[in-house]
């Protein structure tokens, strides 16, 4: 955990100096957690005080923000930085669904640098006035398939897509179905605020059909489709274009990367020979017969999606 220290010093205006000590003697200091400070303002603070907290650049921007309004769950910043940091300073295209007050678009502009082209979508036409250099905003609904298809004709391939829009099930699913294919190889598709899949007002509920959470669980099967023995799970464009899926509290991140059928290789020397149990001819025949019988039973159980039993 990161801690702040209220040092036994004072500034000219009487406020304490707030800082972090790394590897120093912690005696004679009053220690509080950084989060406790930020949330509860437990220590005196004024313009001469300094706070140094172990935050990534996105959260530091958020904390210091005096520009347009940003509304984010605090744990999102580490996730953003984990998946987005490799794009910094590069010529990339970013699309954020949900402009709100425009603050996050400014945050992305600062974080990714001058080479990034940033686009926003919002249903509110007032958002158009929030455009600035390297930030372009389109007016339309993320659940309007025609609008999204036309948008794809306008935009280059997207390197980072952030769905922070209306958060209803239809909006999230339609946006994914229309825009995921337009994310570039090596790009990232991020859908946030997935807690709405559990909220009644947004059409959610635990294991409820039609929620984005339930919809996205199929992605796990699609990612592993190369290993399927059944016709109902086949290799798809998703299988061939996705490298990894990451679930977090209220967030799903999909990282794209073209890939073929996975394979194994062996290196090194064996430590000992494989040991096969010795069986008589009759016992081998009985073993083979029993295995085949159990295999048929398990195939029937699998067809009806009934729990199986170990038969190796």
The number of residues making up the chain comes to: 312
Alpha-carbon distance values, 194 to 66, 90, 215 (Å): 28, 29, 12
- Burial degree of 289 (CB within 10 A; 0-12, 13-18, 19+): exposed
Question: What pLDDT does 297 receive?
Answer: 79
pLDDT the model gives residue 10: 38
Domains in the chain: boundaries: 3-40, 57-256, 286-312
Check residue 35 and give its pLDDT: 56
Say if CB 164 and CB 96 are below 8 A apart.
yes
Q: Which residues are catalytic?
A: 167
pTM over 0.85: no
Q: ∠ CA 191-121-252 to the nearest 5 degrees?
A: 5
Q: Give the pLDDT score at 33.
A: 52
pLDDT confidence of residue 17: 39
**What is the chain's Cα-based Rg?**
27
57-256, superfamily in CATH?
Vaccinia Virus protein VP39 (3.40.50.150)
Full pLDDT tens readout for the chain, 312 residues: 444 444 433 334 344 434 443 344 444 444 455 555 555 544 444 433 344 457 899 999 999 999 999 999 999 999 999 999 999 999 999 999 999 999 999 999 999 999 999 999 999 999 999 999 999 999 999 999 999 999 999 999 999 999 999 999 999 999 999 999 999 999 999 999 999 999 999 999 999 999 999 999 999 999 999 999 999 999 999 999 999 999 999 999 999 999 999 999 999 999 988 887 777 877 777 777 777 777 787 778 778 877 776 655
Q: Give, in degrees to the nearest 5, the angle at Cα 191 between 131 and 125.
A: 30
User: Which helix (H) or strand (E) segment is 57 a member of?
Assistant: helix 57-64
* Tokens read off for 192: 């946030």
| Predicted pLDDT at 53 | 55
The predicted pLDDT at position 36 comes to 58
């Amino acid at each position: 955990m990161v801690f702040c220290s209220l040092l036994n010093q004072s500034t000219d205006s009487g406020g304490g100096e707030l800082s972090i000590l790394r590897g120093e003697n912690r005696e004679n200091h009053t220690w509080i957690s950084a989060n406790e400070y930020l949330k509860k303002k437990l220590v005196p603070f004024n313009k001469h005080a300094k706070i140094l907290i172990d935050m990534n650049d996105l959260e530091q921007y958020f904390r210091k923000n005096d520009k347009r309004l940003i509304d984010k769950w605090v744990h999102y910043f580490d996730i953003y930085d984990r998946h987005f940091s490799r794009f910094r300073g590069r010529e990339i295209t970013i699309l954020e669904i949900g402009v709100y007050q425009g603050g996050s678009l400014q945050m992305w502009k600062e974080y990714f640098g001058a080479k990034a082209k940033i686009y926003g979508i919002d249903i509110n036409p007032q958002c158009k006035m929030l455009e600035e250099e390297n930030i372009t905003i389109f007016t339309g609904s993320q659940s309007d398939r025609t609008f999204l298809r036309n948008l794809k004709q306008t935009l280059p391939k997207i390197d980072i897509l952030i769905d922070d829009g209306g958060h209803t099930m239809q909006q999230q699913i339609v946006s994914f179905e229309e825009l995921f294919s337009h994310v570039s190889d090596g790009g990232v598709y991020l859908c946030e605020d997935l807690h709405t899949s559990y909220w009644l007002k947004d059409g959610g509920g635990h294991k409820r059909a039609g929620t984005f959470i339930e919809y996205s669980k199929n992605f796990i099967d699609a990612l592993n489709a190369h290993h399927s023995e059944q016709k109902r799970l086949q290799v798809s464009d998703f299988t061939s274009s996705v490298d990894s899926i990451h679930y977090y509290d209220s967030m799903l991140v999909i990282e794209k990367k073209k890939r073929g059928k996975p394979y194994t290789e062996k290196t090194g020397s064996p430590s000992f020979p494989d040991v096969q149990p010795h069986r008589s001819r009759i016992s081998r025949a009985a073993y083979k017969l029993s295995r085949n019988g159990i295999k048929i039973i398990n195939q029937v159980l699998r067809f009806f999606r009934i729990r199986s039993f170990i038969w190796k």
